[in-house]
């Protein structure tokens, strides 16, 4: 499938990398010739230099034959304009990044409709939502929801004294009442789709899928459930901080935002009447102590600097703040942070890339059973996808144990009439069910891809 | 530098060469030539063992190829291909001296067409087929072939290899994926060659002759089957070859544009029109200049066009004794040697695009002298040419002429050759043409072994546009620092 990506900044290049890895034909547009030649050298793409809202540049990039046009330049207005042009000039689907809060209110629907946008992505808002989920449920490293939250996939890390250390998965089911499924395990650099004989170890990162209530029950039985964060301190007054604070204060939590730029701090204070905005340098430990860091339930580091986020998170952990989350944009920094025991990391880049991959696969495969949801889990080494089951005789009405599935793949859940089922070998898929598939090391774009 | 990956890639190419040697082997078997068939079998065996060993012993996790590795892979590949490709000539006994055989093979792969054989007809069919087939492979490039047919890894970044192998000042992809670009180029190349074969068959040629001469035309090589090159064949054949030499000297991207229905863009291509203009003007001037040596003016026109196209595309076929033409015509031919074909074609030389750019840069600099405050830009095909490209062109020209002088000095120790012959021999090799003037207008057999080695190197340098081979011999490329 031919895809054009306009704007090769942080987000643009991440998207580009994942789309090229999926085997799409990608054309990159950027105003800076050096950026384009860099992209050309690293990835197997074609480049066009110029303004992406210039019809000549779009024509050079081959807009007539393009299935998907993605505009992720730094300017919302340019993104919208170029998507509008691209659509008029023949692109089948257009996606624009629209970040500014003033466009992300009621006017967004109107904009989407009038500009014929297939999707508007807002990485900041997506990240804020993910953060909000994590703060509601602080035991997890990462939470993904399927089918409007009827089903969840929660990643947790097994601490050294975990009750699950050394436990065989088949024994686990007898010991705990909760109906959950451990569907994927990361140990070191390896990723396993475990069977009943798999033995868990401390230090593993495990993906657990189930209905939200069941997961809560399971974590409570394990003794690792933490209460919701009520009192949150946010470092850095970025857009993510704004969206997160809106969500949190809306749900009645107390929020403190520390921002060093007086202008931004003033704007935030005007926009967020319920939050407390503190003007000051968040890298100063004294300031954090004065503002009551040790009494906070959660500390979220959202400055533009990965390094500062990591360092201040380490400091917050040392002050026994129960939940510490930091935003890290560069993937190599995320790996380093993990080594420094900063467990929970959010990355706007990755959420954007996920959203786009999901859309690209759905477009690519619009005939069959579409990908409804796609999450990259365990740092992108595995994927969880949600499909709607079509009436495919090779799949439906066959007990799962009789299906010849590919290796490293698991059906983690079936949703029938919005009721989640943790499937056993005797269960089967029915038409109009939604299924969640977890797979490692392969890219699925259709439900039938799970068969050998 | 990632040596393991370099050697592994080179090993893969050697295995690919072993596979390609099956074609001349089949030819030998068809003609029942046991000796040459055995020679090909032995060479295939050596290539499989050697290439297989390189692939087996150089396994590495780091498969990334950066610019440096790209240059070295390209240089090593072409040198090794020539060294191994020379073996069948020696094993079959058709060219007993290994150095002569290497010269012949380097001449083949680099699409030069210079030969040490007085009369190629003494060779067996299998050997002649291989000789011409190396032209075809060298024309579009062996590494391009590898990228086109071998399964692509996402991480390999083979773009640096292709950039080093494909001639021209800049490399543009046709489609986003490199592999698809390479495939499209080879399909176009194959199709165009196929069409020429059909045209030649219609001229009453045997399949063997049609194939080998088409290979020579397609790669703009020029190794022929007879001592008098193409002069023996009918005027129909000569015109057909003229037209196809011209076509193979055109940038292949333009054929792709026609194929996808964007033929209009071709009219904007300045290089194509300059190339066509030079050909028509040079051919007419030569035809008028040499009309007395031919019975009719029509024949003069035919010879003029044939020889002009043969020189500018750097093919180097001949239909007339151009060496005995008036000095004016010879000077035109000598000039054409340096111009060469279009960028992105199979032709050698400096390339029309570079010449065009050179004139435009000169014009810009002169304007700047007259109007010191003006802000002139260099445009090509309506687009602004980047300053980097202009600067690179300057240094390329300088290095090119340094090498030109260097090889001329090397040849100056030859007793039997005069300066003109040496200069034209170097020009013929460095620009991948083949024949020079004087004694070297038909064969280079008279040169000593040392000179032949240097001329072989000059041919590969010319085909790869100097840099890859130059970097390969610079010690700092190989050091770990």
pLDDT, one tens digit per residue, over B345-360 is 888 889 999 999 999 9
Q: Determine the pLDDT at residue B206.
A: 92
- Same domain flag for A73 and A104: yes
Residue A20, chain B, CB below 8 Å: the answer is yes
Q: Determine the pLDDT at residue B480.
A: 67
pLDDT, one tens digit per residue, over A213-229 is 888 888 888 777 777 78
57-76 of B, contacting A, C-beta below 8 A: 67
List the one residue out of A153, A166, A126 whose CA is nearest residue A211.
A153
Number of domains chain A contains: 4
Show which of A222, A252, A275 is a domain's final residue. A222
Q: Pick the more confident residue, B263 or B273.
A: B273
Residue A57, chain B, CB below 8 Å: the answer is no
Please state the ipTM of this predicted complex.
Answer: 0.79
CA A35/CA A5 separation, integer angstroms: 13
Q: Determine the pLDDT at residue A173.
A: 74
Q: Determine the pLDDT at residue B154.
A: 47
Q: How far apart are the first and last CA of chain A?
A: 24
CA B396/CA B467 separation, integer angstroms: 9
List the one residue out of A313, A314, A260 whose CA is nearest residue A282.
A260
Phi-psi region of A90 (alpha: psi -120 to 50; beta: other; left: phi over 0): left
Q: Determine the pLDDT at residue B21.
A: 94
Residues 6 or more apart in contact with residue A290 via CB below 8 angstroms:
none
Q: What is the mean pLDDT of residues A432-445?
A: 81
List the one residue out of A355, A359, A387, A352 whose CA is nearest residue A67.
A359
Domain presence at residue A335: no
Q: In percent, how much of chain A has pLDDT > 90?
A: 20
Range of the domain at A117: 2-121
**pLDDT reading at B153 higher than 60:** no
Distance in Å, alpha carbon of B473 to nearest chain A alpha carbon: 24
Show which of A89, A121, A153 is a domain's final residue. A121
* Interchain CB distance below 8 Å, A26 and B176: yes
Q: Determine the pLDDT at residue A364.
A: 72
Q: What is the mean pLDDT of residues B39-43?
A: 94
What is this structure's pTM? Answer: 0.83
Q: What is the mean pLDDT of residues B231-249?
A: 93
Domain presence at residue A94: yes
Q: What is the mean pLDDT of residues A127-148?
A: 79
Q: What is the mean pLDDT of residues A351-369?
A: 73
**pLDDT reading at A368 higher than 70:** no
- Same domain flag for A42 and A111: yes
Q: How far apart are the first and last CA of chain B?
A: 9
CATH of the domain at A242: 3.40.50.720
Domain presence at residue A348: no
List the one residue out of B149, B180, B181, B154 whose CA is nearest residue A443.
B154
- Enclosing H/E stretch for A345: strand A344-346
- Same domain flag for A187 and A262: no
Show which of A301, A321, A341 is a domain's final residue. A321
Domain presence at residue A295: yes
Distance in Å, alpha carbon of A409 to nearest chain B alpha carbon: 23
Model confidence at A385, pLDDT cuts 50, 70, 90, reads confident
Q: Determine the pLDDT at residue A146.
A: 77
Q: Using an 8 Å Cβ cutoff, are B24 and B40 in contact?
A: yes
Residue B377, chain A, CB below 8 Å: the answer is no
pLDDT, one tens digit per residue, over A282-323 is 888 888 888 888 888 899 999 988 889 999 999 998 888 888
pLDDT, one tens digit per residue, over B201-232 is 999 899 999 999 999 999 998 888 888 888 88
Q: What is the mean pLDDT of residues B56-69?
A: 81
CATH of the domain at A433: 3.30.70.1450
Q: Determine the pLDDT at residue B149.
A: 83
Residue B178, chain A, CB below 8 Å: the answer is yes
**pLDDT reading at B443 higher than 50:** yes
| Highest mean pLDDT of the ranges A237-241, A341-345, B37-41, B257-261 | B37-41
Q: What is the mean pLDDT of residues B252-266?
A: 87
**pLDDT reading at A366 higher than 60:** no
Q: What is the mean pLDDT of residues A359-388?
A: 72
Q: Determine the pLDDT at residue B155.
A: 52
Over chain B, what is the mean pLDDT?
Answer: 89
Q: What is the mean pLDDT of residues B261-284?
A: 91
Domain presence at residue A339: no
List the one residue out of A248, A11, A256 whose CA is nearest residue A129.
A248
Over chain A, what is the mean pLDDT?
Answer: 85
Q: How many residues does chain B have?
A: 481
* Interchain CB distance below 8 Å, A44 and B180: no
**pLDDT reading at A369 higher than 70:** no
Q: Which of B157, B159, B175 sits opposite A25 (nearest CB)?
A: B175
**pLDDT reading at A393 higher than 50:** yes
Q: Determine the pLDDT at residue A21.
A: 83
- Same domain flag for A116 and A6: yes
- Same domain flag for A146 and A175: yes
pLDDT, one tens digit per residue, over B294-309 is 889 999 999 999 999 9
**pLDDT reading at B318 higher than 70:** yes
Model confidence at B455, pLDDT cuts 50, 70, 90, reads very high
Domain presence at residue A186: yes
Q: In percent, how much of chain B has pLDDT > 70?
A: 97
Domain presence at residue A411: yes
Residue B183, chain A, CB below 8 Å: the answer is no
């Amino acid at each position: 499938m031919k895809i054009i990506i306009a704007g090769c900044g942080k987000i643009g290049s991440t998207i580009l990398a994942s789309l090229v890895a999926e085997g799409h034909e990608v054309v990159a547009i950027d105003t800076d010739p050096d950026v384009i030649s860099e992209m050309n050298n690293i990835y197997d793409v074609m480049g066009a230099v110029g303004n992406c809202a210039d019809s000549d540049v779009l024509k050079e990039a081959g807009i007539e034959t393009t299935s998907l046009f993605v505009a992720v330049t730094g300017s919302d207005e340019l993104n919208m304009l170029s998507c509008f042009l691209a659509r008029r000039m023949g692109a089948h689907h257009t996606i624009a990044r629209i970040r500014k809060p003033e466009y992300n209110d009621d006017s967004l629907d109107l904009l989407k409709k009038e500009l014929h946008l297939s999707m508007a992505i807002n990485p900041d808002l997506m990240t804020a939502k993910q953060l909000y989920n994590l703060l509601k449920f602080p035991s997890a490293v990462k939470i993904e929801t399927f089918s409007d939250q009827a089903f969840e996939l929660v990643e947790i890390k097994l601490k050294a004294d975990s009750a699950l250390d050394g436990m065989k998965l088949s024994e686990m089911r007898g010991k705990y009442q909760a109906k959950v499924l451990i569907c994927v395990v990361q140990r070191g650099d390896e990723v396993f789709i475990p069977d009943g004989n798999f033995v868990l170890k401390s230090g593993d990162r495990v993906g657990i899928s189930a209905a939200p209530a069941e997961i809560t029950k399971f974590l409570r039985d394990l003794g690792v459930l933490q209460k919701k964060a009520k009192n949150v301190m946010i470092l850095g007054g970025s857009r993510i901080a704004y969206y997160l604070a809106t969500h949190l204060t809306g749900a009645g939590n107390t929020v403190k935002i520390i921002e060093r730029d007086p202008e931004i701090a003033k704007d935030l204070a005007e926009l967020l009447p319920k939050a407390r905005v503190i003007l000051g340098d968040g890298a100063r430990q004294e300031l954090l102590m004065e503002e009551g860091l040790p009494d906070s339930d959660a500390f979220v580091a959202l400055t533009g600097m990965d390094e500062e986020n990591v360092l201040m998170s380490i400091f917050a952990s040392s002050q026994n703040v129960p939940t510490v989350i930091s935003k890290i944009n560069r993937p190599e920094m995320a790996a380093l942070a993990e080594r420094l025991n900063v467990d929970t990391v959010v990355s706007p880049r990755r959420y954007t890339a996920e959203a786009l991959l999901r859309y690209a696969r759905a477009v690519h495969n619009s005939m069959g059973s579409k990908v409804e949801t796609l999450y990259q889990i365990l740092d992108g080494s595995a994927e969880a996808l949600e499909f709607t089951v079509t009436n495919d005789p090779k799949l439906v009405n066959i007990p799962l144990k009789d299906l010849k599935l590919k290796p490293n793949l698991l059906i983690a859940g079936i949703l029938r009439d919005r009721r989640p089922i943790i499937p056993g070998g005797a269960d089967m898929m029915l038409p109009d069910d939604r299924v969640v598939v977890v797979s490692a090391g392969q890219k699925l774009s259709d439900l039938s891809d799970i068969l050998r | 530098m990632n040596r393991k990956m370099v050697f592994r890639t080179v090993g893969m190419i050697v295995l690919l060469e072993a596979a390609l040697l099956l074609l001349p082997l089949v030819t030998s078997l068809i003609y029942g030539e046991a000796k040459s068939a055995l020679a090909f079998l032995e060479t295939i065996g050596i290539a499989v063992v050697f290439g297989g060993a390189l692939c087996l012993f150089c396994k590495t996790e780091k498969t990334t190829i950066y610019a440096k590795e790209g240059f070295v892979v390209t240089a090593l590949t072409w040198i090794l291909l020539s060294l191994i490709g020379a073996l069948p000539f020696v094993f079959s006994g058709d060219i007993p001296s290994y150095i002569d055989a290497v010269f012949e093979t380097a001449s083949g792969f680099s699409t030069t067409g210079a030969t040490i054989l007085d009369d190629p007809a003494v060779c067996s069919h299998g050997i002649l087929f291989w000789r011409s087939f190396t032209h075809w492979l060298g024309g579009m490039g062996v590494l391009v072939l590898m990228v086109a047919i071998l399964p692509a890894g996402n991480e390999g970044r083979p773009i640096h290899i292709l950039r080093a192998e494909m001639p021209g000042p800049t490399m543009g992809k046709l489609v986003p994926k490199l592999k698809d670009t390479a495939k499209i180029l080879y399909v176009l190349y194959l199709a165009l060659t196929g069409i020429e074969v059909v045209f030649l068959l219609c001229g009453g040629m045997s399949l063997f002759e049609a194939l080998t001469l088409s290979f020579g035309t397609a790669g703009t090589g020029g190794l022929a089957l007879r001592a008098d090159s193409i002069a023996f064949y009918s005027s129909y054949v000569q015109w057909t070859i003229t037209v196809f030499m011209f076509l193979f000297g055109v940038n292949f991207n333009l054929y792709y544009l026609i194929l996808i229905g964007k033929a209009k863009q071709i009219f904007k291509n300045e290089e194509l029109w300059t190339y066509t203009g030079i050909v028509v003007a040079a051919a007419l001037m030569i035809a008028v200049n040499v009309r007395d040596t031919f019975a009719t003016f029509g024949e003069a026109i035919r010879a003029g066009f044939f020889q002009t196209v043969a020189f500018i595309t750097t093919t180097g076929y001949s239909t007339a004794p151009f060496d005995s033409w008036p000095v004016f015509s010879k000077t035109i031919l000598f000039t054409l040697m340096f111009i060469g074909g279009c960028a992105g074609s199979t032709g050698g030389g400096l390339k029309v695009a570079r010449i065009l750019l050179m004139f435009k840069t000169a014009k810009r600099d002169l304007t700047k002298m007259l109007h010191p405050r003006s802000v002139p830009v260099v445009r090509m095909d309506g687009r602004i040419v980047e300053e980097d490209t202009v600067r690179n062109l300057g240094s390329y020209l300088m290095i090119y002429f340094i090498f030109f002088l260097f090889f001329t000095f090397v040849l100056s120790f030859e007793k039997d050759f005069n300066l003109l012959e040496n200069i034209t021999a170097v020009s013929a090799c460095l620009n991948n043409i083949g024949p020079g003037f004087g004694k070297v207008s038909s064969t280079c057999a008279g040169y000593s072994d040392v000179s032949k080695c240097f001329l072989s190197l000059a041919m590969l340098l010319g085909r790869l546009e100097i840099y890859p081979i130059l970097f390969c011999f610079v010690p700092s490329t190989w050091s770990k620092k």
